[in-house]
Structure formats: C-alpha cells, structure tokens
Chains A and B, each alone.
Chain A
Amino acid sequence: MKFNKENYPEYVKKHSEKSKLMPDCIKAFTVGGIICCIGEGLGDIYAFCGMPEQNIKTMIPVTLIFIAAFLTGINVFDKIAEFAGAGTLVPITGFANATVSPALDAKNEGLIIGLGEKIFSVSGAVILYGTLASVIYGIIYYSVKFI
C-alpha cells in the first residue's frame, strides 16, 4: 500500500485504539453529576445559613471554582479529570482548572510577563467566544422584544 497525505491519516484513524465511548460517558455522567450534587448541597447549606437567594446563585459557582483551583494547585485535579473526562471539563470546574494550570506553569517566568500573560492561554478562547456569544444572544433577545 502506497501512503500519501490523503490516505495515511485515515489508515492511522482506522488502526488506532478508540476511546471507549460507553464507559467514558458513564464516568463523565457520574462525576459531572456528583459535582452538580455538591453545587446543590452548597446551595442548601448557604440557604440554611440564611443567605439571600441572589447571593446563593453567585456563591455556588464561586465555591466550586475555588475548590477546582485549589485541587489544581495541590496536583489532584488532573488525576480526577483523567478519570472523569468531560465530567470535570464541562462544569465550571473545567474552566477554573484551565485558568489555574497555565498560571502554575508560567509562575517561574515572572508575575507580569509570565503569569499575567499566560494565565488565559487555554481559557482565553472560552472568554472570547463566550463574550461574543452573549453579545449576539443579547442583540437577539433585545430585538425579539420589539417584534
């Protein structure tokens, strides 16, 4: 068989070991579900402490972000994520990890040029397109009100 740029990537794809879709989905669903339960639990605790509804909605993601950032810092998050896949990537924990991990790597290069520049090297795409999407959504939402 003569390989070229067209048929070789297909050949590699065909013969490479595939990710196991079903076990991966179950793991992601379980861990993602547990993270959501923790979020709900946190909400209940804050409500029990008498926190107003509006503040609870802010405090839940803030707490989850803190936990994810802390676990990233003590070299635990990536081990959970290796098992959970999308289970930790999709909730806000994935975003926290994507921001903290490049910051940890860049801290040796200085606070401004190193950490300051590189902290958003992975999560920058989420921030850019998230902001862009919210602007588009806002325009649509605003226009719909006039129709």
Chain B
Amino acid sequence: MSGIIELKNRPTILSSATVVGCREHSGPFGDKFDLFDESDSFGKSTWEQSEAEMQRLALQNALDKINFSDSDIDALFAGDLMNQCISSGYGLENYEIPFFGIFGACSTVAEGLVLSSMLVDSSKLSSAAVVTSSHNCSAERQFRFPLEYGGQRTPSSQWTVTGAGAYIISKHCDGFPFISAVLPGIVRDFGISDVSNMGAAMAPVSVILRPYPMRN
C-alpha cells in the first residue's frame, strides 16, 4: 500500500500568513514573513501567552488578506508543542469556529493540511483553517532546560523556531496553489535520545519518503 491519498477536487490554499520572532526576522528569509516582534513577547507577560497571541495574529492575518470572517470558515485545525495544545486553545478561543486540536510536533502543520484538505475535497467542509506555532522560550522551558540555565549547547544542537503560521483551505479556485495528493507519515523511532538534536531524530523520515516526490 502506497499510502498516497489523491484529492481529485484539488482543494486550494486561498491564503496564508506567518508571524515570527526577532531571530527569525533577522535571518535570510526575514522580509518574507508577515509580522514579527522585536522582543518575541508580542505584548504578553508570559511566553505561553506570547505563543497563543502569535497563533491569533497568524489566523487573523490570513483571514484579513482575503476579507474572510469567522462565519466563512467551517473548521479550524490547530496545534502546537505545548501541553494540551494551550497555545492553540487560548490563542484561538475568541473565534466562533468548530475546533480540531491536533498534535504532530514538527509535522503539525502538514497534519492539519492533510486532514483539512481531505475534508474539503470530500465536500464535508467548504473551507477550513490550519494554524500552528512554536515559541523558542516556551519550548526550551517545557522540553529542555530553564531559559537562564547556564549550559553549553553542543555543536549538533538545534533551535526551536519562534513562529506561527496559518493557511486557509477552500474548494478549488483557479489561480491559487492547490493540493492534489497527500501522504500521511509513519512513526519512525531510530533511537535518537538527545533532546537537542531534533534534526537527527527527524532525518530518517525524509529518507523513507524520498521515493514519493518522484512519482509524477
């Protein structure tokens, strides 16, 4: 079984928006992001609240770009790295849109796109929004060491991004990017236990997926 699910009605990505922190803004793609905050706090007093605010800003920005409101979206698919997906829950609590909380760590956004596009393709929904986020400060605190802890980073350690993104998926419209097929991944544990080396833990997945993009 290939696992590839073809979407004959080709759901469209109508709009997208990105919100990032200061470090990401100063990087090579800095000017490609919609919003950023110099202090990474987005005007909130805790990092968890900042992350929730980033999700709200991302979704609001994606909606504003196409002049959509709550009532134009049939379902929300959102997730993040925090316990009980608090950034999604609290960040999007003011939207009157049916909510699906999802968790896939780094693959959360892909998972949201797969689920929402399948439902739009099968006409169960006419439109859906996908939102995700991570915040370096809230993730460090939850998964690794306290922020002010004086530890030395290994050369192979990586950095959790401070960023949020949102997509609006709808029925096929010409002139927009669309989704023609999806392939859900399979859980792979290759025994990497270093919490700082996320790349090594995720790399085997892309090795397994490699034959897929070659098909048509």
Contacts and interface: CB of A to CB of B under 8 A. Distances in A.
Contact of A81 (B151, B192, B197): B151
Contacts of A89: 150-151
Interface in A84-135: 85, 88-89, 94, 97-98, 100-102, 104-105, 108, 121-122
B141 A108 contact: no
B191 to A, nearest CB: 4
B216 interface: no
Interface string B46-70: 1000000000000000000000000
Contacts of B197: 12, 16
Contacts of B146: 101-102, 104-105, 121-122
A6 B191 CA distance: 7
Interface string A6-21: 1011001000111100
Contacts of A16: 155-156, 197, 200
Contacts of A8: 190-192, 204
Contacts, number: 81
Contacts of B155: 16-19
Nearest to A109: B46
B151 A108 contact: no
Interface string B149-172: 111111110000000000000000
Contacts of A85: 152
Nearest to A68: B150
A88 B150 contact: yes
B181 interface: no
Contacts of A80: 150
A104 B150 CA distance: 13
Most buried by B among A3, A8, A94, A105: A105
B190 A78 contact: no
Nearest to B156: A16
10 nearest A-B pairs in the assembled complex, by CB-CB distance: A81-B150, A101-B146, A17-B155, A5-B191, A101-B148, A8-B190, A16-B156, A101-B149, A85-B152, A12-B200
Interface of A: 3-6, 8-9, 12, 16-19, 24, 72-73, 75, 77-78, 80-82, 85, 88-89, 94, 97-98, 100-102, 104-105, 108, 121-122
